[in-house]
Amino acid sequence: MESVTATARGRKVEEVKSAARVLEVLELLGQDGARLSLAEMASAMSVPKSSLHAILRTMEARRWVDVDPSGTRYSLGLKALLTGTAYLEGDDVASLAGPVLDALAEETGEAVHLGRLDGTNIVYLAKRESRHALRMYSAVGRRLPAHATALGKAVLSQYDPAEVQRRLNWPLERLTPDTVVEPEALLGQLAQARLRGWAVDDGENAVDIRCVAVALGVAPDGGDALSCSAPRTRMDDARMEEVAQAVTEAAHSLRTLLKRIGQR
């Protein structure tokens, strides 16, 4: 069977094509709750429709994908949800972060998140909502470009400039008019975050939303960070300093818990 070369934990592996295609289906359908037709998926994956249809039938039978009543559009199935939930329940950082996130949300009154660097993106592992009616949209499992988020910049600030340049996909995507996409400007932001201990997203991910984040430390396969976000109307510069202090203290508390179980 044909195979392609991939990288896992820094070493090359030869992928099994059939297994790789199943994973590609899951990754494709996992993008923003996608519902796609067989033709759309075959085109995106560059595979014959006949081969993909057989894979989808097997995945549907095992409840990894669902098909709509018309039988033409596919989405993730219940098994994908159960597996994702099991990941979070088995992750030491996510499980220990609960009380810390609760306390941070209570102290600030704003949305707080635990995020993890995955390639060039940040993935939300946990969140607590703001107590205010006006709030930002976010969801556990959502992926955002690391360079446009405080969480991502907090983690990236722990790497030297050469490593940051290697890790990101250039040119960078611009999410809002304020997203920093120039290499020198982004590296300057990361240097500043490194010095003060916290990173900022100033309307770079979502217009008029400001965010502060603090890294928990570089893990073997990425890095985690805590953040607090709020609309600009509730997060002026003075408030941002206060929130940064609260997030810094929360990150310290979580690091302490992780050290007790040998995770940091």
Q: Based on the structure, what is the number of domains in the chain?
A: 2
Residue 132's pLDDT is what? 87
Which of 115, 77, 125, 91 minimizes the C-alpha distance to 213? 115
Residue 260's H or E segment, with its range, is helix 237-260
Rounded Cα–Cα distance for residues 109 and 225 (Å): 19
103 and 184 assigned to the same domain: yes
Given a cut of 80, whether residue 9 has pLDDT beyond it is no
Same domain, 37 and 109: no
pLDDT tens string 152-209: 999 999 999 999 999 999 999 999 999 999 999 999 999 999 999 999 999 999 999 9
Report residue 133's pLDDT band, with 50, 70 and 90 as the boundaries.
confident
Mean of all residue pLDDT scores within the chain: 91
The CATH number of residue 15's host domain is: 1.10.10.10
| 3-class SS of residue 155 | helix
The per-residue b/e assignment along 116-148, b for 16 or more CB within 10 angstroms, e otherwise, is: bbeebbbbbbbbbebeeeebbebeeeebbbbbb
Q: Which residue range forms the structural domain that includes residue 24?
A: 5-82
Same domain membership, residue 169 and residue 46: no
Q: Are residues 76 and 95 in the same domain?
A: no
Q: 222 or 64: whose pLDDT is higher?
A: 64
Cis peptide before 183 (omega within 30 of 0): no
Query: pLDDT tens digits, residue range 193-228?
Result: 999 999 999 999 999 999 999 999 855 555 999 999
Average pLDDT over residues 237-250: 98
pLDDT of 52 higher than 60 = yes
Q: Are residues 62 and 144 in the same domain?
A: no
Q: Which of 129, 125, 97, 124 shows the shortest CA–CA distance to 110?
A: 129
Nearest-angstrom CA–CA distance, 105 and 227: 10
Same domain, 66 and 107: no
The Cα-based distances of 156 to 181, 193, 205, 228, 260 in angstroms read 14, 9, 16, 17, 25
What sign has the CA pseudo-torsion 80, 82, 84, 87? negative
Same domain (yes/no): 128, 160:
yes
pLDDT at site 223: 92
Using the 3D structure, point to which of 29, 48, 82 is the last residue of a domain: 82
Range among 23-32, 55-64, 127-136 with highest mean pLDDT value = 55-64
User: Both 39 and 166 in a single domain?
Assistant: no
Given 82, 111, 142, the domain boundary residue is 82
- Same domain? 49 vs 111: no
The residue among 50, 82, 114 that closes a domain is: 82
CA of 202: how far to CAs of 70, 180, 206, in Å?
44, 10, 9
Nearest Cα neighbor of 227 from 213, 238, 217 is 213
On the question of pLDDT at 53 being above 60, the answer is yes
**pLDDT at residue 6 above 70?**
no
95 and 42 fall within a common domain: no
Q: Which pLDDT does position 3 carry in this prediction?
A: 45
The pLDDT of 117-142, averaged and rounded, is 88
Higher pLDDT residue, 181 or 84?
181
Do residue 256 and residue 128 come from a single domain?
A: yes
Give the pLDDT confidence score for residue 33 in this predicted structure: 75
| Model confidence at 81: pLDDT above 50 | yes
Predicted pLDDT of residue 255:
93
Residue 233 belongs to domain with CATH number? 3.30.450.40
Shared-domain flag, residues 106 and 221: yes
Orientation angle between helical segments 49-61 and 38-45, nearest 10 degrees: 120
